[in-house]
Amino acid sequence: MSVDGWNTVLVLGGIRSGKSEFAESLVADAPMVRYVATAPEGDPEDTEWASRLATHRARRPGSWSTEETAADPRRLADVLASAEPNETLLVDDLGGWVTVLLDPAHQPADDVATIAELADAVRACPARVVLVSPEVGLSLVPTTPLGRAFTDALGAANRAVADACDAVVLVIAGQPSWLKPGVTPLATARPAPAATTSATTATGPNGFAPAEPTPEVRLPDVLTHTPPVAPNAEPGNPWAAPTMALPMVATGLVIQAGMELPMPDEYAGPQAVDRLATLDVPGAGLGVLDRVVGFAAATQGTSTPAAWGSVRVLLLHGDHDGGAAAGTVAGESARRVRQARAGQGALARLAAESGASLQVVDAPAAAAMEDGPALSLDQVESALRYGWRLAEQAADAGVQLLVLAASGAGTEAAAAAVLAATAGAEPPAVLGRVVTESGEIDDAAWMVRCAAVRDALHRTRRSPRGAKDVLAELGGGDVAVATGVLLGATARRVPVMLDGPVGLAAGMVSRDLAGQARHWCLLADHGGHPAVKLAADVLGLTPMLDLRLDLGEGSNALVALPLLRSVLALAAALPTHPSLNGGEQPDVDTEEPEYPEPEYAAPEFAEPEPDGPGPATVEPDGQPTTGWRAG
């Protein structure tokens, strides 16, 4: 087989997409194949249809046997049930099977039951089975009742069989894309690099070599810095909601364009915002902060979201060489990272005050982008998988919210280059001013950064603009790891708070890999940074606050976190207004409290002395007298 780890595969595709050829390539190395033909012979005068059938027959090797099921649609389930474990079956295709199923000669019949019976047979089949089916869900709704009946029945059959199969692949223009990657798709693996010696590389039937398994890199330690504990303070309880299982393959995680990841609940968010109008509050409500309630409700799947209890900060440390780092002090980013590891500095202290754990992540250093690629494609692949694993580790630990932080020389210029490549921005418009340690504006360093981004864009003007290509040429290690974090968090339904150029640049790149990722992102404050403002506008992210904070990427979000938590806690705890609750008052104690009568004691006054002028005097023992002497 060309694909390992599966027993049943459904191959979908449009007309002339190459789905049948791809399905045949999957079983090309099987010693014997039983070809199950489902389509009827058709009209003898239809020469074009007869030519199609003849082409299919001519492609089959002589060692294959053919079995026809067009006479009875229920026979296909019987063929699958009677198959032996050592057999290989190729069913081509379900479109012909549905045509026979809807034939008036086989009606009336329970089509739903027949489809369910086929799905059960696929699920229980001991043989290896490849099924081919047309994908009609992307076409227009047919104008005739018979056409609509066919598309509805075929759509139902595709869904049922896809659920029963171990793997599902969609073929478009001859290019396979795995929709249900519970297997190792060697047929879609990247081509093996050309050999530099005379030795030949063994390849599969499609000319591709299996990907070498990438050794896992140890994830960094999670640091928890504890601030001084206030009296009577109690630690919060960690949250451990169930999360989505990751699609993994035997050779490692496959991150590719067009991934289908989960979306937040489209109904819970609006319901939560509508509920805010019914709460018993003395004023007009939460104002623009109702957006955070809607976001939390959608990502938690409930109209009464809870405040985030377990928060983790991921500090990405990756420097960029060349002109991107102009104006930065050598070793400054490493010093900031050492501070964070020691529990010092703004980021670590804010994390400690918020009860958030901190994980310092060392990303690959990026080469000068004006001279050549910042990273190799292999480094990009490793960085993406590394970021995904970081998100997976956080989800397994019950983390409810991730905060992306970054500390590295040249990150602003790298983010500007990514924005210019993905959104067509002009570098001078998205590059923030360079501020020195003494608070002065360094225009010369800013011009060097602009020139570096300009030269990098000119160098790559004819290069592909795919997500991984942008990361390799311009983005660098920190943006690549951040992109992997966003994708992994989306897969595990964990929201991510952003507030800086690295996180927003990763959001722009992740949009081309999985469009669902941006819906799990929350922007705390744009900080007045032009790149953040532009990327947020493109991604449709509205800042929760507009405080113009500039404490470093990640720190701005941690400043806003207590306020956002308070909003969620208040929205979850407040009852409905009595006027909207049938006039019933809330169950509170309205009786007047009883207070004990105060006991008063009559004051004692000292008798005035018969002589001695003036106010109170001091006795010889040093104590003042208790009264005044008469004059």
Distance of CA 34 to the CA centre of its chain: 42
User: For residue 624, what is the DSSP state?
Assistant: B
Distance of CA 104 to the CA centre of its chain: 48
Q: Which residue, chain included where needed, has tokens 């389509």?
A: 39
Cα–Cα distance between 169 and 161 in angstroms, integer?
A: 12
* Backbone angles phi and psi of 150, in degrees to 5: -65, -50
Residue 170 near residue 179, CB atoms below 8 Å: yes
Neighbours of 262 (CB within 10 A): 15
Neighbours of 454 (CB within 10 A): 17
Cα–Cα distance between 579 and 583 in angstroms, integer?
A: 5
Q: Of 533, 536, 532, 530, which is closest to residue 511 (Cα–Cα)?
A: 536
**531: Cβ–Cβ under 8 A, 6 or more apart, which residues?**
412, 415, 416, 419, 425, 430, 431, 432, 501, 504, 505
Cα–Cα distance between 35 and 33 in angstroms, integer?
A: 6
Neighbours of 399 (CB within 10 A): 27
Q: Of 422, 426, 519, 408, which is closest to residue 468 (Cα–Cα)?
A: 422
**241: Cβ–Cβ under 8 A, 6 or more apart, which residues?**
300, 398, 400
- Please tell me which residue in 117, 381, 412, 553 is annotated as part of the active site: 553
Identity of residue 69: T
**312: Cβ–Cβ under 8 A, 6 or more apart, which residues?**
222, 356, 357, 358, 359, 394, 397, 399, 401, 402, 403
Using DSSP's 3-state secondary structure scheme, residue 525 falls into strand
Neighbours of 261 (CB within 10 A): 22
- Per the annotation, the verdict on 553 as an active-site residue is yes
> 88-92 and 65-68 as β-strands: parallel, antiparallel, unpaired?
unpaired
Rg (CA), the chain: 34
What are the catalytic residues?
553
